[in-house]
C-alpha cells in the first residue's frame, strides 16, 4: 500500500478499475495516514471515516471511483456533516449541513469517497489558515510556517499524501496561494466554470471560484471535466470547452507569446520568487516560445473605488449568519479583524458599492484587453496580444505561523499584512480569467515556490496543455515533505 500513497487520483482510480486494489483498501489507507499525520499538521478538522467506509464497500462508480477526497469547510457543504466556515460560533453550535451542494454531489457522482473536511480561516478571509476555532494548519515543508489560505487544510492534506486531491476555492488566491506554499498544482478556473449552487448564485461579486488542489496536471483536468458546467438557475456560465480537458493533457501547445512579470509596483519580492519566475521564463524560451518582459499596464493601477467591496461582503456574511442562527452576531463571535472589516462594510452606502463595482468592471476590461492586443502597437497600429502572463504566485516565501494573525489592539493590522500575499493572484479573481500555480521551483531552504500562469477568459485548455509540458520538463512528482514519509 505504501506504493499507492504518492499516486495521483487518476492513478489510484486506474488501480481500482483494474482490480489491483479495492476502494475499501484505498480508503483504509487514507484513514491510516490521516490518523498518523494529522495530529502534527492539523489539515482535517472533521472526519467521516464510517461514512467513507460504507460508500467504499458499496463500490462507487465514476471516473474517480474509490479515490479518497477531502472537502474544504467553506462554501461547499456535505449532508449531515459539520459545517463551521472557520468560525467559533458555528463550532459551538455544532452546525451541520442539511444537504449537499451541487459540487459535492458531482464529486460523489465522479466516484470520490469523502473522508473529511479541512481547516480554513474564519470566513475564508485570510491568506493563512490559523482560525481561532481550530488552530493553525502547519506547512509540512516547514512546520513553523503557514501553508497559506484559505485552502490551507486541503493543501496540506494533499501535500502529505493523506489524500491525492482535495476541494479548494479561491476568492483572491485561495487555491493558488496554498498550492505555491505546499508544492501543488492549483487552478482557479474561469468564472462560473463550476457552479456555486444551489444556495449561492455568485459570491463576492463573482470573484469566488471553486476548484481543487492536486499533485498532477492530469488530475486537475479530470476533476474539471467531472464537476464543471452550468447548473439550473446559475446567473451566468463560462464558455463551454470544445472537448474534455483530459484531452488537453499532452496536446500540442504551439508557439506562444508570453509576457513575464518580474516585479510589482508596491511589493518587494523575495529573491527566490524572482529566481523562480526567471527560471520559468528561461525554460519557456528553451521550449521555443516568444518570451518578453511585459504585463497589462492596468495591473499597476487598481481602482481605489473598489476597496469598498471586500468589507461589504464580510458584513453580508455577518448578517446572513445572524439570520441563520437566529440572533445577531457580536464581536465575541468573530476574530477582531473580521469584525472590524464587517463594521467598515456596514457603513458603505449602496451608491458607493455600485460605484466601486463599476470601477472594478471597467478596470477588468483594461486588464483583459492585453490578451487581445497590445495597447502600444508599432506604427500606430495594433499587434496580436499575448497568450499567457507569467507572474509569481506569492511575493515572498510562506509566512511564519502567527505573522498574519490579528494583532491585539490594532484592528486590521493582521488582515492588511495577510492581504499582501494576494498581490499577484487577486486581480484574476476580479477579471474571472483562469490562472494556475505550478510547483516549478524550490528555495535554497527546501520550500516550494509556485509560478502563476494566466490565460484569456475561458482558456483553461491552454493552461492545461502548457502545464503538462512543464510537468514533463521540470518534474515535481517525486518531491515530498520529510514529515510525510
Active site residues: 72, 150, 174
Written as one string, the DSSP assignment of 305-365 is: GGGGHHHHHHHHHHHHHHHHHTS---GGGS-HHHHHHHHHHHT--HHHHHHHHHHHHHHHH
DSSP-derived 3-state class of residue 391: strand
If we measure between CA atoms, which residue out of 460, 455, 302, 467 comes closest to residue 389? Answer: 455
- Asked if residues 248 and 204 have their Cβ atoms less than 8 Å apart, the reply is no
If we measure between CA atoms, which residue out of 470, 438, 440 comes closest to residue 453? Answer: 438
C-alpha distance from residue 53 to each of 30, 97, 219, 458 (Å): 11, 20, 23, 38
Residue 378, C-beta contacts closer than 8 angstroms, at least 6 positions apart: none
Q: Residue 215 has which C-alpha cell?
A: 499533485
209 phi and psi, to 5 degrees? -130, 140
Give the DSSP H or E segment for 35. Answer: helix 23-41
Written as one string, the DSSP assignment of 133-174 is: TT-PPPPTT-TTB---SSSHHHHHHHHTTSSSEEEEEESSST
Q: Positive or negative, the Cα torsion across 126, 423, 240, 369?
A: positive
Q: Positive or negative, the Cα torsion across 196, 197, 203, 207?
A: positive
Q: Residue 252 has which C-alpha cell?
A: 500540442
- Asked if residues 174 and 124 have their Cβ atoms less than 8 Å apart, the reply is yes
Number of Cβ atoms within 10 Å of the Cβ of 176: 35
What is the C-alpha to C-alpha distance for residues 49 and 60, in angstroms, rounded to an integer?
16
Residue 475, C-beta contacts closer than 8 angstroms, at least 6 positions apart: none
What is the C-alpha to C-alpha distance for residues 41 and 181, in angstroms, rounded to an integer?
14
If we measure between CA atoms, which residue out of 249, 178, 193 comes closest to residue 224? Answer: 193
Residue 265, C-beta contacts closer than 8 angstroms, at least 6 positions apart: 300
Residue 247, C-beta contacts closer than 8 angstroms, at least 6 positions apart: none
Amino acid at each position: 500500500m505504501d506504493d499507492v500513497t504518492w499516486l495521483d487520483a487518476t492513478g489510484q482510480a486506474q488501480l481500482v478499475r483494474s482490480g489491483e486494489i479495492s476502494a475499501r483498501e484505498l480508503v483504509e489507507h487514507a484513514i491510516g495516514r490521516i490518523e498518523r499525520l494529522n495530529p502534527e499538521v492539523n489539515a482535517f478538522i472533521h472526519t467521516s471515516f464510517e461514512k467513507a467506509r460504507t460508500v467504499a464497500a458499496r463500490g462507487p462508480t465514476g471516473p474517480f471511483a474509490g479515490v479518497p477526497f477531502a472537502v474544504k469547510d467553506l462554501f461547499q457543504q456535505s449532508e449531515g456533516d459539520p459545517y463551521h466556515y472557520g468560525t467559533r460560533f458555528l463550532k459551538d453550535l455544532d452546525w451541520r449541513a442539511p444537504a449537499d451542494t451541487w459540487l459535492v454531489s458531482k464529486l460523489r457522482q465522479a466516484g470520490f469517497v469523502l473522508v473529511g473536511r479541512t481547516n480554513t480561516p474564519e470566513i475564508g478571509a485570510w491568506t493563512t489558515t490559523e482560525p481561532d476555532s481550530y488552530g493553525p494548519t502547519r506547512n509540512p515543508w516547514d512546520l513553523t510556517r503557514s501553508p497559506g489560505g484559505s485552502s490551507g487544510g486541503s493543501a496540506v492534506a494533499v501535500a502529505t499524501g493523506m489524500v491525492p486531491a482535495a476541494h479548494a476555492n479561491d476568492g483572491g488566491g485561495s487555491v493558488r496561494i496554498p498550492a505555491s506554499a505546499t508544492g501543488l498544482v492549483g487552478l482557479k478556473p474561469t468564472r462560473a466554470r463550476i457552479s456555486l449552487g444551489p444556495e449561492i448564485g455568485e459570491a463576492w461579486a463573482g470573484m469566488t471560484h471553486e476548484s481543487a488542489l492536486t499533485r498532477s496536471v492530469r488530475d486537475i483536468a479530470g476533476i474539471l471535466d467531472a464537476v464543471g458546467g452550468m447548473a439550473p438557475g446559475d446567473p451566468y456560465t463560462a464558455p463551454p470547452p470544445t472537448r474534455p480537458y483530459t484531452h488537453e493533457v499532452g496536446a500540442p501547445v504551439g508557439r506562444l507569446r508570453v509576457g513575464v512579470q518580474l516585479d510589482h509596483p508596491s511589493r518587494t519580492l523575495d529573491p527566490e520568487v524572482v529566481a523562480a519566475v526567471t527560471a520559468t521564463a528561461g525554460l519557456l524560451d528553451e521550449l521555443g516560445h516568444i518570451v518578453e518582459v511585459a504585463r497589462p499596464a492596468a495591473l499597476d493601477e487598481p481602482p481605489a473605488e473598489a476597496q469598498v467591496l471586500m468589507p461589504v461582503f464580510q458584513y453580508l456574511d455577518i448578517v446572513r449568519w445572524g439570520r441563520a442562527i437566529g440572533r445577531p452576531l457580536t464581536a465575541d463571535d468573530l476574530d477582531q479583524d473580521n469584525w472590524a472589516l464587517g463594521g467598515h462594510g456596514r457603513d458603505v452606502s449602496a451608491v458607493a458599492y455600485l460605484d466601486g463595482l463599476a470601477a472594478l468592471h471597467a478596470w477588468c476590461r483594461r486588464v483583459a484587453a492585453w490578451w487581445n492586443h497590445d495597447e502600444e502597437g508599432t506604427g500606430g497600429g495594433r499587434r496580436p496580444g499575448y497568450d499567457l502572463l507569467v507572474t509569481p504566485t506569492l511575493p515572498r516565501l510562506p509566512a511564519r505561523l502567527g505573522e498574519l494573525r490579528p494583532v491585539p489592539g490594532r484592528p486590521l493590522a493582521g488582515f492588511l499584512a495577510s492581504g499582501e500575499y494576494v498581490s499577484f493572484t487577486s486581480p484574476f479573481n476580479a477579471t474571472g480569467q483562469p490562472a494556475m500555480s505550478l510547483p516549478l521551483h524550490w528555495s535554497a531552504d527546501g520550500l516550494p515556490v509556485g509560478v502563476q500562469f494566466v490565460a484569456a477568459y475561458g482558456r483553461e485548455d491552454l493552461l492545461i496543455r502548457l502545464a503538462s509540458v512543464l510537468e514533463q520538463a521540470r518534474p515535481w512528482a517525486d518531491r515530498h515533505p520529510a514529515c510525510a514519509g
